[in-house]
Amino acid sequence: MRIRHSKATIIIAYLVLFLWCSFTIFALFWITLTSLKDNRTLFQNVWALPQEIHFENYELIWNTFDIKNYFKNSMIVVPISVFMILVFAAPAAYVLSRARFKGRNILLNFFVIGIGVPFVVLLIPLYFLLARLHIIDTLFGLSIVYISLSLPFSIFLLTGFFRSFPSELEEAAAIDGCRPFQIFLKIVLPITSPGLIAVSIFNFIGIWNEYLLALILTSSENNRVLSLGVYAIQNSMQYSGNWVALFAGIVIVFLPTLILYIFMSERIMESLTLGAVKG
Amino acid sequence: MKKLKLILVMMVIAGLVAVFSLASCKAEEAVEEEAVEEVKEAVEEEAVEEVEEKLSGEFDYLCYWDKGHVNDQYIRSIIAEFEAETGIKVNITNPGRDVLNKIRPAILEGNPPDLFDGHGIEMWPALIKDELLMSTEDLFTGPTYDNSGTMEDQFFEGIDQSWAVNGVRYFVPYNAHTSGIWYNKALFQEKGFDVPTNWDDLITISNQLIADGMTPFTEDNVDFYNAYYYYWFSNRISGPGVFYDAAMDPTGEGWDNPELLEAAQWVEKLAKGGYFIDGWEGYVWPAGQIDFVQAKAAMLLCGSWVVNETFDKVAEGFEFGHFPFPLVSGGKGSLTDVEFTTLGWGIPGDAENSELAKEFIRFALQPKYQVKWFDTYYYPAITGLGDQAPEDIKDVVELMESAESTHEMYDGLQAEAEWWTTVFLPLDDKLIFGNITAEEFIESVKAGTIEFHSK
Amino acid sequence: MLVYERNRRLVIPFVGPALILYLLFFIYPAVRGLWYSTLDWSGFNQTPEFIGFQNFIELFQDQWFWTTLYRTVLIMVLGGVFIFGLSFLFVILLNSGIRGKSFFRTVIFVPNVIAPIALTTLWGFILNYRFGLVNGFLTAIGLEEFAQPWMGPELVFWSMLVMIIWTYVGFYLVILLSAIAKIPTELYEVAHLEGANPLKMFTMITIPLIWDVLTIAIIYWGIFSLKLFEIIFSFTGFIPKSEIWTTPVYVYILGFGKINPIYRLGYATAISLVLLVIVMIFVIVSRFVFKRERIEY
């Protein structure tokens, strides 16, 4: 909407946006500042700036609560799962959205049904399944579960993206003698990269913060992921009232996703608007 | 077209079959391997047994405390000394509050841990009630670790019997809690108040506080903390057990008992009399506790763990004081009928190394370790350590040691979790916020109880 | 459209792997899990009792089932209306020629990146009666009498709804923004020249051209909100108050609750099954209602 809007509209826009965003930014700051206080001063004045900086909260979380290991585990499980989801979902979405064959819609809907299944139902059966396959309490097992459970939504979303580009490109390539897989790799994927990136970001955020499955499917110390760490801190905090440590844990958990998002969002918007110009 | 679908389906089926046969193959292999191992072990064991009777080996312990929590550190320090002294290795992992959710599939799979711990009240409906744990009678009737006496004599009055089924004990407490009224000692001294033993005196004190512009009570607005009031009033008026029986009576007639109505009327009186701090129905834990230790209200009815949760947030000059929930004139309650709720250990029924786990329990229940609970303002399960208690919680320990009879927190109703959560707690909240009258409360609870049991 | 003959052979290698994973690790456990709904079982002992449809009969008469379902649907509908309404509003504002568009967009999205427990803790502090921001602000500007117990039994559900809306607006904003960005601006310029007003342009150009994405977003919100769990469960501290129970929360409390050890796995699963059916009906109906011709341009 490149139409010139009146100055009044622009001012109102700035006002509303500033109000909304300053609240959010304030919230982020407050969480971070609180993580640097100690409990006594926190409750003396909840919204004040910290008088002294207490880095030991971070030290406590990082070492005693062993967050550094959990962080490492999350950094293994999450990016790999997100990537593998694309590996499985993208080809499927491509075929399910563009090819015509009997039963295509049934197959697509079969995947889409999965979006509605609440995870609680799966917890115990998955435990048994992984146990029988001897991949219980392994990061590998957890990753496979994350990938499988994300397929419905990813395929659903990707079919939306895959549907909407002109087929002339593929047809031209086919005429040129390219095999389907090459077409997929060299033409389709690049064009739909905004969709792939978008799906990846959603999956990343979802899996990074997921803890219910991780809780049931892993048990040894070495296999805990970061979200479990925060969950454990929150539980401990109930019994010891260590709020500031909880906030430190929260900051450690949201910082990577925040940075990732800030970094990636520019790229997404670029590629999206580029697509628009091409028309 | 059809052929394609058929191929696709067959491939999928083939794939599934392949995976499953692989899995079961591996499972079979594993079973075979295990069988071989067992034979080997049996042979070895025999050889070892001939040499000496000493316990050795290792066992798995699933701990209720999250890793890094002070209680986890406490347990690990005991484990370190245990391993050093006996050579038995303890494999501890920390599922935290979800211990029971973790154990559930492990037991079903036939691979339970050897030892775990938690709140008795949570373990009861899950495992103890159905007798899925190993009996610990031999542990209780046996000697303490240093052979200085019988195990069961050490505990606070009656708590070893908590969660016994048909007289058989399964649960071994290591930590006890009670509940009562925490009060601002400095304030009471300043005002010259005596510690009240019945509610008429406490009402007088409260009215005096209100007249001086202060607030008598604050609370955290956790629904089961709110339930303390009703439960304690019913205990003081009708004695223990009546509340429980009424709740579990399918005909609902237990609720016609006028004593239960009287208890509700006391709660209503407090709710509508301005005795609670303003706005507390909007509180989220730990707002009430914080109020209390920052002297914004004089008293807090809560569990004995409050000091542990708030000692690092108290205002200048604040002192903790505690007295048992006062009696009601004409009631059947007694001050020496002390509420106990316990945390402790359980051993799954088909645990393999139960003997090692029991040895660990004996070791950990030694007074020298039990007394260390005081370091974090928690309480041991064994009696006789009162003089070593820190000042802030001395009142509580004295109360525990004075017990001549005990009852479980909430009259044991928290273990009847579905009734407690879906029938009672929502109505209790309404009562204590002054939104319904005592009569309406009893009527609704009665109706809810009847409906609940008719399902 | 890939129309040439060979496309049918693509199905197996392209869809096959995903299908296998899906069947093995999702469908198979889901079916087993749903089998529990015919049992009376705590999940601990080895002897579940088969009771057929009794769990389902019970849940239809369960007052809590209906109350929580009502709340769940309320969140979906009201939440959806406000979230999409606000998202479109922000789209308009962001596209009105201001600078710093990506900054604003990022900040609005940020709550989606933070763990639910952090958000609920934050809001717990903001809405706190005694020292919360809201009441503090009201007092500071002299409106003390408007200070409410925001987390009290009457208002807690609405406070939570506000938090939910604030959190998820950014997510749908990003989706809508990217969809709208693809619309060639020439279309708007031409329409403007022909004298169309903004509302007409919105309904005749914007909505149709983002229809695919918009319907997917709506369907996703429907599913997501019906299953929403963590952010609700932790809203009032470590135990959710009964005033904010929604169906997923109720299911969890029944089957897995800590502190409230009900442990009725069979009954909980039965309720999940009903929820699943509701979600499926919603998806099917939506896809039917939203079906339109795809517009290629």
Domain regions of chain B by residue span: 57-176+343-397, 179-340+408-453
**Which pLDDT score, from 0 to 100, does residue C295 have?**
47
CA nearest neighbour of C6 among A170, B184, B173? A170
Distance CA A222, CA A229 (A): 12
A231-273 confidence digits (pLDDT tens): 777 777 766 677 888 888 888 878 877 887 777 776 655 554 5
- Residue C180 to residue A272: CA distance in whole angstroms: 10
- Tokens linked to A137: 């309490």
Between CA A266 and CA B250 the distance in angstroms is 64
Q: What pLDDT is stored for residue B302 in this prediction?
A: 94
Which range has the worst mean pLDDT, A118-122, B441-445, C238-242?
A: A118-122
Q: Give, in words, the CATH class of B57-176+343-397.
A: alpha beta
CA distances from B250 to A151, A237, B255 (A): 48, 39, 11
Domain annotation covers residue A28: no
Question: How confident is the model at residue C266, as a pLDDT?
Answer: 87
Q: Does the distance separating the beta carbons of C43 and A124 come in below 8 Å?
A: yes
- Mutation pick from C27, C96, C296 vs chain A, by most beta carbons of A within 10 Å, is C96
**Cβ neighbours for B445, distance < 8 A, ≥ 6 positions apart:** B255, B423, B424, B427
CB contact under 8 A, B122 and C11: no
- Tens-place pLDDT, residues B268-315: 999 999 999 988 988 888 888 988 998 999 999 999 999 988 888 888
Query: How sure is the predictor about C110, in pLDDT bands with cuts at 50, 70 and 90?
Result: confident
CA distance C65 to C60: 7
Burial B238-261 (b: 16+ CB within 10 A, else e): bbbebbbebbebeebebbebebbb
Say which range, B40-44, B179-183, B302-306, C102-106, has the weakest mean pLDDT.
Answer: B40-44
**Which residue stretches of chain A are H helix?**
7-34, 39-44, 56-59, 67-98, 104-113, 119-132, 139-163, 168-175, 180-183, 189-191, 193-208, 212-217, 226-240, 243-278
Using an 8 Å Cβ cutoff, are A219 and A137 in contact? yes
Give chain B's length: 455
CA A237 to chain centre: 26
Cα separations (Å) of C104 from A258, A276, B364, C174? 14, 21, 58, 11
Nearest chain C CA: its distance from A209 CA (Å): 6
CB-based contact C147:C127 (threshold 8 Å): no
CA–CA dist B401, A243 (Å, integer): 33
Please name the chains neighbouring A, where neighbouring means 3+ C-beta pairs under 8 angstroms. B, C
Give the three-class secondary structure for B195. Answer: coil
Backbone angle region of A117, left / alpha / beta, with phi > 0 → left and psi within -120 to 50 → alpha:
beta
CB contact under 8 A, A118 and C227: yes
- Cβ atoms of residues A114 and C22 within 8 Å: yes
Domain range enclosing A125: 59-278
Each residue of C18-33: pLDDT tens digit?
A: 999 999 999 998 888 8
Counting residues of chain B whose pLDDT is more than 70, the rounded percentage is 88
The pLDDT mean for chain A works out to 81
Enumerate the residues of chain A whose CB falls inside 8 A of the CB of residue C222: none
pLDDT higher than 80, residue C199 = no
Mutate to test the interface with A, among C10, C46, C83, C227 (most CBs of A within 10 A): C10
Residue B163 · residue B271 · CB < 8 Å: no
A29 in any annotated domain: no
Residues of B in contact with A239 (CB under 8 A): 69, 71, 305, 308-309
Please give the torsion angle defined by the CA atoms of residues A162, A168, A170 and A173, in that order, rounded to the nearest 10 degrees. Answer: -160
| Residue B41 pLDDT class (50, 70, 90 cuts) | very low
| pLDDT > 90 in chain B, percent | 58
Mutate to test the interface with B, among A215, A239, A242, A243 (most CBs of B within 10 A): A239
The per-residue pLDDT for A198 is: 77
Question: Measured between CB atoms, which of C12, C150, C264 is closest to B282?
Answer: C150
pLDDT at A42 over 70: yes
> Would you state the structure tokens that stand for residue C23, as one six-digit string?
């069947």
List the structure tokens of B395: 């009142």
Tell me if C240 sits within 8 A of C233, measured CB to CB.
yes
Q: Which of C61, C152, C242 is closest, CB to CB, to B281?
A: C152
* Beta pairing class for C39-40 and C49-50: antiparallel
Residue with tokens 């998820």: C168
CATH value of B179-340+408-453 in 3.50.50.60, 3.40.109.10, 3.40.50.300, 3.40.190.10: 3.40.190.10
8 Å CB contact of C269 and A121:
yes
* Chain C interface test: which of B296, B421, B450, B455 (most C C-beta within 10 Å): B421
- Tokens read off for A148: 């499988």
Spell out which chain B residues touch chain A, with contact meaning CB-CB distance below 8 angstroms.
1, 4-5, 19, 23-24, 26-27, 30, 65-71, 93-98, 101-102, 104-105, 108-109, 286, 289-290, 294, 305, 308-310, 312-314
Chain position carrying tokens 């149709």: C208
Q: Check C12 against B11: CB less than 8 A apart.
A: yes
Three-state DSSP class for residue B404: coil
Nearest C-alpha neighbor of C9 from the set A167, A155, A107, A99: A99
Is residue A15 domain-resident? no
The Cα C63–Cα B386 span in angstroms is: 49
* Å between A222 CA and nearest CA of chain C: 22
Supply the pLDDT for residue B53. 56
Residue B11 confidence (pLDDT): 54
- Please state the domain count of chain A: 1
Query: Before C261, cis peptide (omega within 30)?
Result: no
Nearest Cα to B321, choosing from B394, B262, B377? B394
Average of pLDDT values for A35-53?
A: 82
Residue B92: its H or E element:
strand B89-93
What are the chain C neighbours of B434 within 8 Å (beta carbons)? none
User: Do residues C268 and C251 make contact, with C-beta atoms less than 8 angstroms apart?
Assistant: yes
**Nearest to residue C15, comparing CAs of C27, C7, C26?**
C7
Tell whether the model's pLDDT for residue A147 goes beyond 60: yes
Structure tokens at C78: 């009201």
What are the tens digits of pLDDT across the range B84-113?
999 999 999 888 888 888 888 888 878 899
How far apart CA B74 and CA B68 sit, in angstroms, is 10
Position B42 scores a pLDDT of 47
Chain A residues near any Cβ of chain B (below 8 Å): 38-40, 42-44, 60, 64-66, 101-103, 124, 127-128, 131-134, 215-216, 219-221, 231-233, 235-236, 239-241
The reply to whether domains B57-176+343-397 and B179-340+408-453 share a CATH topology is: yes
Which chain B residues touch A124 with a CB distance below 8 Å?
104-105
Cβ–Cβ gap C42/B126 under 8 Å: yes
Q: How far apart are CA C234 and CA C121, in angstroms?
A: 8
- Residue B297 confidence (pLDDT): 93
Average pLDDT over residues C118-133: 86
pLDDT at B178 over 90: yes
CA atoms within 13 A on the CB side of B33: 6
Name the residue facing B93 among A102, A133, A220 (closest C-beta).
A220
pLDDT at A238: 66
Averaged pLDDT of chain C = 85
Pairwise CA distance, residues B310 & B297, whole Å: 15
**Partners of residue B16 in chain C, C-beta under 8 Å:** 20, 23-24
Query: Looking at the partner chain, which of C8, C104, C192 has a beta carbon nearest the beta carbon of A21?
Result: C104
C240-268 pLDDT, tens per residue? 888 999 999 998 888 887 777 788 888 88
Which one has a higher pLDDT value, A121 or B256? B256
Beta-carbon contacts of B299 under 8 Å, excluding residues fewer than 6 positions away, are B181, B182, B183, B184, B216, B217, B218, B292
**Mean pLDDT estimate for chain B:** 86
Chains with ≥3 CB–CB distances under 8 Å to C? A, B
- Chain C residue with CA closest to A45: the answer is C131
For residue C183, give how far its alpha carbon lies from the nearest alpha carbon of chain A (Å).
7
| Gyration radius of chain B over CA positions | 26
Asked whether the beta carbons of residue B283 and residue C151 sit closer than 8 angstroms, the reply is yes
Contacts 24+ apart (CB under 8 A), A91-94: A91/A184, A91/C13, A91/C14, A91/C15, A91/C17, A91/C18, A92/A151, A92/A155, A92/C14, A92/C15, A92/C17, A92/C18, A92/C19, A93/A154, A93/A155, A93/A158, A93/A159, A93/A161, A93/A162, A94/A158, A94/A162, A94/A184, A94/A188, A94/C14
Q: Which residue of chain A comes nearest to B314, CA vs CA?
A: A40
pLDDT of residue B202: 95
Whether residue B28 has pLDDT greater than 50: no
Domain positions in chain C are: 64-289
Residue A233 lies in a domain: yes
Mutate to test the interface with C, among A95, A145, A182, A228 (most CBs of C within 10 A): A95
DSSP B81: H
Chain B residue closest in CA terms to A120 = B101
> How far apart are alpha carbons B122 and B414 in whole angstroms?
8
**pLDDT digits 0-9 by tens, B215-225:** 999 999 888 99
Contacts C253 to B, Cβ<8 Å: 421
| Mean of pLDDT values over B175-180 | 93
Q: Quick check: A14 and C98 CB within 8 A? A: yes
**Mean per-residue pLDDT for B129-158?**
89
| Pairing relationship of beta strands B58-62 and B115-119 according to DSSP bridges | parallel
pTM (2 d.p.): 0.84
CATH number of C64-289: 1.10.3720.10
Greater confidence (A102 vs A89) lies with A89
CB B135 within 8 A of CB B351: no
- Single-letter code of the amino acid located at C236: T
- Asked if residue A54 belongs to a domain, the reply is no
pLDDT over 60 (residue B25): no
pLDDT at C198 over 90: no
